[in-house]
Amino acid sequence: MPSSSVAETSAPSTAVASNRERWLVLGAAFFGWMFDGLEQAVFPLAGRPALQDLLHTTDDKIIGQYFGYITALFLIGAALGGFVFGWLGDRFGRVRIMTWSILTYSIFTGLCYFATGPIQLGALRFVSAIGMGGEWALGVALVMEFWPEKARPLLAGAIGSAANAGYALISVMGMFVKIQPNSWRWVMLAGAAPSLLSLFIVFFVPESRRWKAAVAKVETHPVREVFSRAMIGKTLLGIALAAVALMGTWGSVQWIPTWVNKMVGQQDPHAASTSLLLAAIGAMIGCFAGGLLARQFGRRWTYFALCLVSWIITTTLFRGFDHYSPLFTVMFGFVGLFTAAFYGWMPLYLPELFPTRMRATGQGVCYNFGRIFAAAGVLFQGKLVAAYDGSYARAGAMLVLVYFVGMVVIWFGPETKGKPLPD
């Protein structure tokens, strides 16, 4: 379709939405992803005490391996959720399916309270991640289809920062609640809170008019189209770009609270929570920066720069510190800022790769199938921790080399700055 036609068709679809509807949609997506972030942060903060309790050991070689297995299961579940719920959202509507995704991750995170072994804990985390993976794809699609093009870079940052607001909330909880092998279960119950949000979505949030118009024109087969000859290049590109960012975060950064717990032992039970809070605050700033920088300098140059700076700052932390200190905490804040900026960039760029009729499926496949590679990175990180005699720092410094892959891959993607969403 010619670009002029796209512009003509995209304008009415956003103009018919009232300001009240736009803010309702943004609020639902923001809080949905915020509670996703809270649910993601539960395990990095409580995982080590939980595994000490369930495995009856304090050996970090063993704990590190199980931590890697459970985190990998979580990422694979998120990938499956992005695929399944994204496809359902393109077939049956964003709002209805987003409700089910939020209920899924809320209920099964709360059920982790009752886990009696690491296998049960991993299985429950897997199912909760299925819902979490679907919520991201549906929420991003809904927001981008309601708001005009000029607002999208700022909204991408808002959506990205929402998850880190969830990280901040769970970190504050960890500062006031001493998370130990005999108390970690109560943290899991906090993940059940988002179920209340699903009721808000059902009753107040409108369905995407752009999606309704798109599916009314032609019968949709989103999965088939995402992997069709015409779209496979963009799909594989999106998966690769998401995989680099996710591997950097989940393969190394997510392990830092566990590393902090090891460094301080029982001397400072709130050290991991304090570090995670500062990283979450940095990440919220970074997410806004990712979207706004992409608007100013273009999608490709911004991604390249984020990969370069993320590698520098994470390597400095892993190679330059061997004990916990105030300076370590500040550096972790900068790590959060730069590595999380990708999560303000991706909600802007990934929707620009796919037409409306397959947008939730396409971006869900890219973002969440990137998690499969991240899961492989997590398992590799667990092996590295064991190989380096329990050193989280040496293992992390190796895995962040993945950012060099991103510096190359981004130049194979289209530059979409200033272009409307494809219909």
Domains along the chain with CATH numbers: 27-412 (1.20.1250.20)
pLDDT recorded at residue 304: 98
Helix (H, G, I), strand (E, B), or coil: what is residue 414?
coil
Between residues 243 and 36, the one the model is more confident about? 243
- Average pLDDT over the chain, rounded to an integer: 83
| Confidence band of 84 (pLDDT split at 50, 70, 90) | confident
| Confidence band of 313 (pLDDT split at 50, 70, 90) | very high
Name the DSSP letter for residue 166.
Answer: H
Min mean pLDDT across 262-276, 323-337, 358-372 is at 262-276
Segment 246-271, tens digit of pLDDT: 988 877 777 787 788 778 766 666 77
Query: Which residues lie below 8 Å from residue 187, measured CB to CB, with a gap of 6+?
Result: 42, 45, 46, 170, 173, 174, 177, 179
Task: Please give the structure tokens belonging to residue 411.
Answer: 């130049």
**What whole-number distance in Å separates Cα of residue 131 and Cα of residue 103?**
7
pLDDT at 6 over 50: no
**What whole-number distance in Å separates Cα of residue 376 and Cα of residue 246?**
11
Instruction: Give the closest residue to 344 by CA, choosing from 90, 194, 41, 140.
Output: 140
| Confidence band of 10 (pLDDT split at 50, 70, 90) | very low
SS (H, E, C) 169-228: HHHHHHHHCCCCCCCHHHHHHHHHCCHHHHHHHHHHCCCCHHHHHHHHHCCCCHHHHHCC
Q: Which one of 135-139, 195-199, 335-339 scores highest in mean pLDDT?
A: 335-339
User: What is the DSSP track for 322-379?
Assistant: SS--HHHHHHHHHHHHHHHTHHHHHHHHGGGGS-GGGHHHHHHHHHHHHHHHHHHHHH
pLDDT at 230 over 80: yes
Q: Helices 19-55 and 152-176 meet at what angle, rounded to 10? A: 40
pLDDT recorded at residue 269: 65
Q: Helices 342-349 and 326-340 meet at what angle, rounded to 10? A: 10
Instruction: Give the closest residue to 24 by CA, choosing from 193, 211, 166, 204.
Output: 204
* Interior/surface letters 186-206, b for 16+ CB within 10 angstroms, e for the rest: ebbebbbebbebbebbeeebb
| Confidence band of 212 (pLDDT split at 50, 70, 90) | confident
